[in-house]
Structure 1
Amino acid sequence: MLRELRQDRRLTIEELAEASGVSGRAIGDMERGRSRRPHRGTVTALAQGLELDEPAHARLLAAARAARPGPQRPEAVKVSPHTLPRGVRDFVGRQGELAELRALAREAAEDEEGRDAPAPPAAVVHGPPGSGKTTLAVRLAEGLASSCPDGAFLVDMRGLDERPLPADQVLSGLLGSWGVPDAELAGLGAEELLARYRELSARLRAVLVLDNAGSEDQIRPLLPREGRLLVVVTSRRTLAGLEGVRRVELGALTRQESAALLRAVVGTGRVDAEPAAANVVTELCGHLPLALRVAANWAATRTSWSLRRLADRLADEDRRLDALSAGDLRVNSAFALSYSRLAPEAARMFRLLSLVPGGDFGVPPAAVLAGVSLAEAEDLLEELLEAGLLMTARQDRYRLHDLLRLYAASRHRAEDAAAGSLAARSRLRHWLLDTAVLAGRWYEPDYGMPPADPGRLVALDDREQAARWIRIEDDSWLAAFRETAEEGEHTRVAEVAEAMHWFSDHWVSWGHWVEVYERAAAAGAALGDAGLEATHRNYLAWAYWACARRHDEAVDAALCALRLAEGAGDTLQQAWAHAYLGWLRDALDDLPPAADHYRRAMRLFTAADDVNGYLQVSCGVIRLMRATGRPQEAVETYHGIVETLADPRHRDRIPPNVRDFTTLSAVYSVSFVHLDRGDWQEAADALRGIRGQFDACGWHKQASKVHLHLAHALTHLGERAEAAAEYRAVLWLEGLVPAEVREDARAGLAALSGGRPAPPPRFTL
């Protein structure tokens, strides 16, 4: 459409670029289909350059909007939460700093090839807000793509937040991005988590940007000890306590760099035609990259303005509006100029975005805040992006720079009524929690898919979409949850926590389940509801042990839940309390008390007619019966599980994920009983039935033992070729499984090759 409109008016690309202020390269990319996502401001500038009437302008804008992915579709895409954001195309200056950082990257590569270095090099890029630290780091990472085949990653450390990101949460998130499954992360204590990080980071040729760091404590554990992982830290502070890092300071741009940035955004012809006015613009922006880009983006879409007029307007705004400063650099003039020229709807959106909790955000929360449709919200966000008042983030999401968030908040306080502000904040909070409940209940046995709702702003059509929303919006819904708890809305707190219970097993490595269930238990106590408090004390027992490895506190929580449930006559929560106590005693090999708790739990689950709880405990009983030397009881328990799963009365009461996991866990546990007794055929049949299922879940330790023990059974059955293949399958998991498992596989394979008897196996869970 753009090409046809240009040719109809007999314009060359260069002539349209001159008339519109949009670069010729950008126009060419759009016409060739290389750029399919022009921003609204760009389209408006092109329409002005083409002298389109309103209907034609609207058609061009509609075509641009249709070419952009809709805000609901990204839910289906599975990518790392630490993907590098899109860099700016018109990056200028900072050549000395880039050269220094690239030299550091070359040192990392050379050290790997034989030089003696104590640790891979790392850099701290520091400077005032708005000086372009993140932009520089992203530019560096993009330029190193060819020498970093394992990719580039960015973590927002949130150093200025009230709750900066703790190092252990960063470790867990990065390991997840590098392929370590959540189930494995859940079993790692703090020291093991750090060891796993160091093991994997030593093998990566990649760039890791730790953005917006607040303190040395955040960063120190994340600096690798060996390998080729280049770590680049950005911070407003120098982080002087970090040893062995290269420090690169960013100040204001030079006069020449500032002019180059103006040329890149506004156009060379306009800047060179008014060098004196261009110099005034850069001086008024304090040569600060963020302020310059805001002003330049504003000018780029107003081709009829001279730079002198822009300079006069900047000076006027600086006199009239409150100052917003970054150190000794005054930047409010640039912000105020772009803000004052926004359409009223876009200006209102900008102010409301200061209410968004967390870091980045998508289109739906913005639509909820402003009370507009998704399409309208996206257009307004793109207008803010074009004006330089908004930044892009991962996965087509947006974020406000810290200074711009402060400026938006100041305008919100000055221009919006308190009642309207409270209403918008409440609207967003309720939407976040409503969506969290719907997404979490996808995993609840009694709920599943939410009812159809054409007005729903996000797609929740399957478990994957639900999980993706929970994960990607965790900052926002958790902030809403905290605010709800602090407001004393106890019933709502318990509802959200309950909805997340079954999902939590799928994201054990998230660092906030203890907080969620501590707040929910406190809500139950505040309501005076002993049964509700018992429920969340039970969940808290799980969170203390599964997520934080705080065993004593987990036991105390489960005992408290048991007392509360007994007092309330709540059979089901008594059952769960015994189940958790059995699990916790089992974890310490305190087997007689564990067996007693499990037996009580099974009786109580039967009395409460809760088949899902009964099945979970039954799988633990198989393991316990084997450990206490009662193999026949273990096998009988297994057959009881099979019969329960096959019972038609339970067909719709057991969710598919619970059914699949129960089957996998039960077969895996009973296979060890067969192996102990030398029932090789039964063991082989069982293990063949679950071969590959742990692999698919990313549970490498269990997967390796399935392969290893199947190989042992097959060796005894004389099926040597298949046994050898299973031993090799263990060795292919190098680096992902315990060393003793790999040693057993090598010994078994060597015995097969040499025609010797297989070595005595170690059948351990």
Structure 2
Amino acid sequence: ARRTWTVSVLAAKLADERRRLDELQAGDLAVKATFELGYGQLEPAQARAFRLLGLADGPDISLAAAAAVLDLPPEDTEELLESLVDTSLLESAAPNRYRFHDLVRLYARACAERDEDRPSEREAAMSRLLDFYLATTAGVYAVERPGDRLVDDLEPTEYAGLRFTEATAALDWLYTEAAPLLACVRQTAGTDRLRRGVDLLWAAKDLTESGANSHQYEMTARAMCEATQTARDARAEGRARTVLTDVLLVSGRIRQAEEEARIALELAERVGDSTAESWVANNRGLLCLHEGRHVEGKAFFERAIEGLRAAGNRPFEATSLGNLSRAYLGMGDITRAVEIAQRGVAAHREIGRTVRLANSHYALGVAMIQAGRHSEALNQFSDALRIFGDHRQRLWEGTTNFRIAEVHLAALRPAQAAQYAEQALALGCIGGDRMRGNVLMLLGRALTKLGQIDRARACWREALNLYEQTGAPEADSVRTLVMPTSAH
């Protein structure tokens, strides 16, 4: 009917969600009219459920989350939602999970804005959903890291979340809910729910450390940095930038992480957010280790440990001790490094077998490598690997496999070294492309010992490419290994 319209004109009209339904009509035919017919036949409780559920972004919603939106018991919520499925206004994605077709969601949201008598009811529904996610995610964090005081310093919630007593069920929930949870965080931008949104993102940090939802998590963290800056909320912005620093550290983007950490620490100091101060001080210490500034890193770790000790956060203090031991390694004091790492492991063992205990085993294993105590290093890494696996920390599993490969290569077992290095490449590592370059360099050395020179040089060429892309200083030394091939 409108042959002069280009595809780009049509796309632009449909891009505006508020206008999309109105655009989808031709003469007397309209998508909205079909939805109006179904909506008009709903009972009041069904219509309310339809409207309020349409407010939540995300690909789907669980029964428990929907119950929070509607402020109803799960049994009553399920009855309402199943009746909406029967009318084809809602789809059942899986048992106890529901979703709207995208156009139906737009219509439901329009109905909420048109028919919900009090705007405060829409806000209350979204607030309950956020509370549900924050309270439940804080519970997951507490199961994963018992004794960690971060959960005590998150924004308070009024609506209760789910409770978990063991890690498997807690992690199942977190990874299943990742997409709707992150969508809920993004929806707090420009609202008075902003601080709770940032804290929800912080408590869900396993989503990025595991490597399972890294891209979504990073995009959400960047959106929250922008939202908190716009809102001029220094506390929330400091925490959002702390979260983004974590993301950048995991992916090995050191320069960007350094800038975010510097701003985050300034903001935390300005508003007296001691939790964020200690967290960022630890991160800045890790950044110093990446850049070989070990004395400066030691000072940051000591600052973090002091703050964590004052807050009674023993698990995180023990983790920072492991990081401090790596600073001493860089300074050449291997004896002190081993002793401090052993203190970290001992502290974590008193607390229990948590994911942070794995970090302490890892730190002690690194110190043992430098001390030449290879069998003891392998024992530490083996313990770390089991715990990381149990807690689904895939990137840490990869990093630990890399360290095991280091031990085998130092002990003149190149075949085993190559095996573990290849496993590290398959899993991925904390530290992103730069760390991948390190793994490839080690694999190349192992392959050389095995007489596989061509494969070794292929590994080194790939490592050089990664180092050059990330601006890593290792690039200069690697070129000499690659040169024979290019000269030939």
- TM-score, normalised on structure 1? 0.45
Check the 8 A contact 1:575/1:604 in 2, yes or no.
yes
CA positional deviation for 1:402 = 3.4
CA positional deviation for 1:581 = 2.2
2:129 to 404, 428, 431: 431
Q: 2:141 aligns to what?
A: 443
Cα deviations across residues 604-658 of structure 1 (Å, max 9, x unaligned)?
5455554334323322233333333332232232233244345xxxx3xx46425
* Amino acid aligned to 1:581: R
Tell me: CA distance 1:595–1:160, structure 2 relative to 1, closer, same or farther (3 Å).
Answer: same
2:86 to 379, 386, 398: 386
Tell me: CA distance 1:566–1:694, structure 2 relative to 1, closer, same or farther (3 Å).
Answer: closer
Check the 8 A contact 2:245/2:283 in 1, yes or no.
yes
Q: Does 1:664 align with 2:364?
A: no
Alpha-carbon distance in 1 for matches of 2:252, 2:417: 33
Alpha-carbon distance in 2 for matches of 1:741, 1:403: 52
Alpha-carbon distance in 2 for matches of 1:747, 1:434: 55
Check the 8 A contact 2:51/2:108 in 1, yes or no.
yes
Q: 1:644 aligns to what?
A: 347
Cα deviations across residues 364-412 of structure 1 (Å, max 9, x unaligned)?
3444444444333333333333333233436763322233334444555
1:594 to 281, 289, 297: 297
Tell me: CA distance 1:371–1:713, structure 2 relative to 1, closer, same or farther (3 Å).
Answer: closer
1:403 to 95, 103, 107: 103
* Amino acid aligned to 2:75: A
CA positional deviation for 1:487 = 3.0
Tell me: CA distance 1:731–1:658, structure 2 relative to 1, closer, same or farther (3 Å).
Answer: closer
Check the 8 A contact 1:541/1:557 in 2, yes or no.
yes
Q: How does 1:482-521 map to 2 (within 5 A)?
A: 482=186, 484-489=188-193, 492=196, 496=200, 499-500=203-204, 505-506=209-210, 509=214, 510-511=217-218, 512-516=220-224, 519=227
Alpha-carbon distance in 2 for matches of 1:462, 1:686: 24
Check the 8 A contact 2:238/2:267 in 1, yes or no.
no
Tell me: CA distance 1:521–1:464, structure 2 relative to 1, closer, same or farther (3 Å).
Answer: farther
Tell me: CA distance 1:604–1:732, structure 2 relative to 1, closer, same or farther (3 Å).
Answer: closer
Task: Structure 1 unaligned segments of length 5 or more: list them.
Answer: 1-127, 130-158, 163-235, 237-321, 450-454, 752-763
Tell me: CA distance 1:377–1:629, structure 2 relative to 1, closer, same or farther (3 Å).
Answer: same
CA positional deviation for 1:470 = 4.3
Check the 8 A contact 2:51/2:112 in 1, yes or no.
yes
Q: Does 1:353 align with 2:57?
A: no
* Amino acid aligned to 1:440: A
What is the RMSD computed on CA atoms of the aligned residues? 4.6
Tell me: CA distance 1:566–1:484, structure 2 relative to 1, closer, same or farther (3 Å).
Answer: closer
1:620 to 298, 323, 330: 323
Question: Share of identical aligned residues, percent?
Answer: 22
* Amino acid aligned to 1:661: A
Tell me: CA distance 1:477–1:399, structure 2 relative to 1, closer, same or farther (3 Å).
Answer: same
Check the 8 A contact 2:301/2:320 in 1, yes or no.
yes
Q: How does 1:480-629 map to 2 (within 5 A)?
A: 480-482=184-186, 484-489=188-193, 492=196, 496=200, 499-500=203-204, 505-506=209-210, 509=214, 510-511=217-218, 512-516=220-224, 519=227, 526=233, 532=235, 536=239, 539-540=242-243, 542-543=245-246, 545-546=248-249, 551=254, 554-563=257-266, 574-606=277-309, 609-629=312-332
Q: Secondary structure at the match of 1:625?
A: helix
Q: 1:711 aligns to what?
A: 408
CA positional deviation for 1:436 = 1.9
CA positional deviation for 1:673 = 0.7
Q: How does 1:750-761 map to 2 (within 5 A)?
A: none
Tell me: CA distance 1:483–1:459, structure 2 relative to 1, closer, same or farther (3 Å).
Answer: same
Alpha-carbon distance in 1 for matches of 2:299, 2:110: 62
Check the 8 A contact 1:638/1:670 in 2, yes or no.
yes
Q: 1:698 aligns to what?
A: 394
Q: How does 1:62-77 map to 2 (within 5 A)?
A: none
CA positional deviation for 1:431 = 3.3
Check the 8 A contact 1:595/1:621 in 2, yes or no.
yes
Alpha-carbon distance in 2 for matches of 1:605, 1:370: 39
Q: Secondary structure at the match of 1:662?
A: helix
Q: How does 1:166-181 map to 2 (within 5 A)?
A: none
Check the 8 A contact 1:565/1:573 in 2, yes or no.
yes
Check the 8 A contact 2:68/2:125 in 1, yes or no.
yes
Check the 8 A contact 1:324/1:332 in 2, yes or no.
no
* Amino acid aligned to 1:432: L
Alpha-carbon distance in 2 for matches of 1:334, 1:425: 28
Alpha-carbon distance in 2 for matches of 1:372, 1:405: 21
Task: Structure 2 unaligned segments of length 5 or more: list them.
Answer: 1-9, 143-147, 153-158, 429-438, 453-473, 475-488
* Amino acid aligned to 1:439: T
- The structure carrying a bigger helix percent of its residues is 2
Tell me: CA distance 1:750–1:674, structure 2 relative to 1, closer, same or farther (3 Å).
Answer: farther
Check the 8 A contact 1:514/1:543 in 2, yes or no.
no
How many residue pairs end up in the alignment?
A: 413
Check the 8 A contact 2:136/2:161 in 1, yes or no.
no
* Amino acid aligned to 1:555: E
